[in-house]
Amino acid sequence: MYDHQNKHNSQPRYTPLKTLEVFKAVNRSFPHTDEINHIHDQGGKVFGWLCTYVPEEILHAAGILPVRITGYDRETDLDDGNAYLYMNNCSFSRSCLQMGLTKEYAFLDGVVGGSTCDGARRLFDLWRQYIGTPFHHVLTVPRKYTENAHSLYLAEVEMFKTHLEDHLEIKITDEELMGSIELYNQTRSLLRELYNHRKKPNPPISGSEVMEVLDACFRMPKESFNHHLKKLLQELDGSQNAYSGRARLMLSGSVLANPDFISSIEQQGGLVVADELCTSTRYWGDMVEVQPGEPPLKALARRYLNNYPCARMFPSEERFRRIIETAREFKVDGVISEIIRYCVPYSHDLPLLTKRLADINIPVLSIDLEYGSSGSGQIATRVQAFLEMIEAKK
């Protein structure tokens, strides 16, 4: 209509990334992907996990395919979810419950969560009661980083492993754990490489495309995910694609799985280059480092508690420090905080975080939304105003 207005968004040199189609296909067909069907045909097991404080490697070492429970990555009616969970539970927990109650997670042979926030805890209470997945486990996750916290969490991780072993009537050996750690570390370093592309002044991949990759990462066996991600990285190395925008933006918040939400920001001319989300950097941020002679379980527990922190952790300093580090590393001009309505940990941290970022001259746009939102007109208006403010400051 008015092309001259959209010159910021035009990407003339853009050629579609072939490997991205593989990931998109997985996301479209999940949970009925070929890989999951194959595992079930072979008598294998698929477990769902919820929250980045669940050590996924243990599930993998037990021969299970771990997939992340992300609820509907679209905004939908939550009739059943609303009937069982009170409205002040976040719409993420209601969305997951809705999918559970409508039997869309019936393919799961087990669920594992962390007692990280009330939303997750209430969801699991109800899951246990009404959904009847054959295996349930909730890890208690301390909120601090003290020595006591670490030994408590290690004990929790050990308990989880034993529970799983008893349920499956197997033993998970240290060698198996080491193998899984190695595989997952490979995923982490490949994702870091992917993110390094986003540090470029004109990244070859957009924020919404990266979200497709991450979503697929939660839904595929890591073996095949790594294989395809390597191919994608090769493609990016030779790619002429170069995204540009009015400002480099970072997303901050809890769970976000809808690439359309990021698209809606990018359509306004924002270049989303970095993030601090449960479904991204906080998931793959740190490697598991096993010291010589150390039991792998101990290294796992240490990594998962010390990882890029959730807003639930105390003190908040470590999270703020990392956010500022990420913001600088990716040279962001502004941060968009997306908070799922009634998410207590993130909304309570926000004023402190805003202040910290203001001190280094990075403005914050705070958006509260329902989980799965694709970005309404109201959000677009705010993003537009935010971008104009950043441009005026430049």
Partner 1 sequence: MLSIGIDIGSLTTKTVVLNNGRFLASVVSETLDEAEISAQVAMTKALERIDADEDPLRFVVTTGAGAKGVSFSDRSKAITTCLARGIAYCVPEARAVIDIGAESSTVVKTNERGKVLDWANHDKCAAGTGIFLQQMAKLMKLSFEEMSELSETASKGADITGTCAVFAESEVISHVHRVPPTPMPEIILGIYLSVSSRIKTMCKRIGANEKIALSGGVALHKGLVRTLEKEIGQPLFVPDDPVCVAALGAAVLAGEEIQKETAQ
Rg (CA), the chain: 21
DSSP states of 238-277: T-------SEEEEEEES----HHHHHHHHHTTEEEEEEE-
The reply to whether 388 sits near partner 1 by the rule CB under 8 A is yes
Q: What are the tokens at 72? A: 């509907």
For partner 1, the binding residue among 1, 77, 103, 171 (CB under 8 A) is: 1
Point out which span in 1-9, 79-87, 165-173, 330-338 binds partner 1 (CB under 8 A): 1-9
| Residue nearer to partner 1 on the CB measure, 170 or 389 | 389
Distance of CA 25 to the CA centre of its chain: 19
Residues from 236 through 275 that contact partner 1 (CB under 8 A): none
- State in angstroms the smallest separation of the CB of 283 from partner 1: 31
Point out which span in 2-10, 47-55, 186-194, 307-315 binds partner 1 (CB under 8 A): 2-10
- State in angstroms the smallest separation of the CB of 380 from partner 1: 8
The C-alpha torsion from 371 through 153 and 107 to 310, rounded to 10°, is 20
Total chain residues near partner 1 (CB under 8 A): 14
- State in angstroms the smallest separation of the CB of 363 from partner 1: 7
- State in angstroms the smallest separation of the CB of 212 from partner 1: 26
**Residue 70 dihedral angles phi and psi, to the nearest 5°:** -120, 10
The reply to whether 5 sits near partner 1 by the rule CB under 8 A is yes
The reply to whether 2 sits near partner 1 by the rule CB under 8 A is yes
The reply to whether 389 sits near partner 1 by the rule CB under 8 A is yes
294-300: long-range contacts, CB 8 A cutoff, minimum separation 24: 295/174, 296/174, 296/177, 296/178, 296/181, 297/58, 297/154, 297/157, 297/158, 297/161, 297/174, 297/177, 298/154, 299/181, 300/55, 300/57, 300/58, 300/157, 300/177, 300/181
In single-letter form, the type of residue at position 215 comes to D
- State in angstroms the smallest separation of the CB of 377 from partner 1: 8
| Residue nearer to partner 1 on the CB measure, 56 or 333 | 333
The reply to whether 87 sits near partner 1 by the rule CB under 8 A is no
For partner 1, the binding residue among 224, 374, 376, 384 (CB under 8 A) is: 384
Residues from 347 through 376 that contact partner 1 (CB under 8 A): 363
| Residue nearer to partner 1 on the CB measure, 119 or 334 | 334
| Residue nearer to partner 1 on the CB measure, 18 or 355 | 355
- State in angstroms the smallest separation of the CB of 389 from partner 1: 4
One character per residue 34-63, x = contact with partner 1 (rule: CB under 8 A): ------------------------------
One character per residue 305-344, x = contact with partner 1 (rule: CB under 8 A): ----------------------------------------
**Residue 64 dihedral angles phi and psi, to the nearest 5°:** -100, 150
| Residue nearer to partner 1 on the CB measure, 4 or 171 | 4
Omega of the bond leading into 315 within 30 degrees of 0 (cis):
yes
d(CA 180, CA 106): 26
State the sign of the Cα–Cα–Cα–Cα dihedral 231, 232, 233, 235: positive
Point out which span in 53-61, 240-248, 318-326, 381-389 binds partner 1 (CB under 8 A): 381-389
The helix (run of H) or strand (run of E) holding residue 196 is helix 174-198
For partner 1, the binding residue among 10, 146, 162, 381 (CB under 8 A) is: 381
Omega of the bond leading into 31 within 30 degrees of 0 (cis):
yes
Measure CA of the first residue to CA of the last residue in the chain; give whole Å: 29
> What three-state secondary structure class fits 212?
helix
User: Could you tell me the CA-to-CA distances from 287 to 47, 80, 160, 304 in Å, in that order?
Assistant: 22, 39, 21, 9
Binding site for partner 1 (CB under 8 A): 1-2, 4-5, 363, 378, 381-382, 384-385, 388-389, 392-393
